[in-house]
Amino acid sequence: MTHTAILAKLEVAEQAEPLLPGLPAASYFSADLLNQPEQFDVPYHQRKRYNQEFGFCLFTAECICSLAALCKGKKVLEAGSDSGWLADQLAQQGIASTAADWTDYQQSRDTKRGYSMRSVYRLDHHGDAVALLPGNFDVVLLVWLNLGTPFGEQVAHAMRSGQVMILEGEEKGGNTATEEFFDVLSADFERLDAETLSLNEHHRTFPGLHDRWQVLRKK
């Protein structure tokens, strides 16, 4: 491919329509794009902008509805909430949700992730979410834990027996959390298969990523 062709390709990618969360699953590109390298650049640039606005998970409308159904009547803590978009969506559906994050992205543009969230939709607790646990929460949401940081296992250890963790991200050996975190899950949690299936049925991922939902209950 010539230099001119590469520049033209990048220009098309940069002009791609921004992705928005909360659309029907059929509205998003499919995993078939993994087998079409010529189309890969557009989703990559869309993903970069999406990450800065909403985070790493591609939230479909069906998935949000399933999540709201699982959380109905329960108190939910989103630990490490980033933009707080998901906690805000749950609150709009009548779920008692609390968004907690060390970083207030409205005030800080300097993060260890190498990017800043452009918007904050909800932030109820500016500080360590672990300090809020176990609390009176029924459900703890963890979405795309930072790779290589101990936050996940700290949350897991702080949870009490019977509390439910809803986890979104890649599995052990992937690009989220630590091996120790997944070892804690294997030892101290049981997976709720029906609930896990309900969240993954209409889940979509960005090309090159392998994230999925898991619903687990602490033993």
Query: For position 2, what pLDDT does the model report?
Result: 60
The closest alpha carbon to 127, from 103, 99, 148, belongs to 103
Query: For position 8, what pLDDT does the model report?
Result: 53
pLDDT tens per residue across span 125-184 = 999 999 999 999 999 999 999 999 999 999 999 999 999 999 999 999 999 999 999 999
Query: For position 34, what pLDDT does the model report?
Result: 45
Query: For position 55, what pLDDT does the model report?
Result: 82
Cα 15 from chain centroid (whole Å): 25
Q: Cα(first)–Cα(last) distance of the chain, in Å?
A: 55
Cα gap 194→43, rounded to integer Å:
31
Query: For position 134, what pLDDT does the model report?
Result: 97
CA-CA distances (angstroms) from residue 72 to 120, 131, 139, 166?
Answer: 24, 24, 10, 14
Q: What residue ranges define each of the domains in the chain, with the CATH number in brackets?
A: 61-218 (3.40.50.150)
Query: For position 217, what pLDDT does the model report?
Result: 98
| Residue segments in the chain with a per-residue pLDDT below the cut of 50 | 6-7, 10, 31, 33-34, 110-114
Cα gap 185→93, rounded to integer Å:
29
Whole-prediction pTM? 0.86
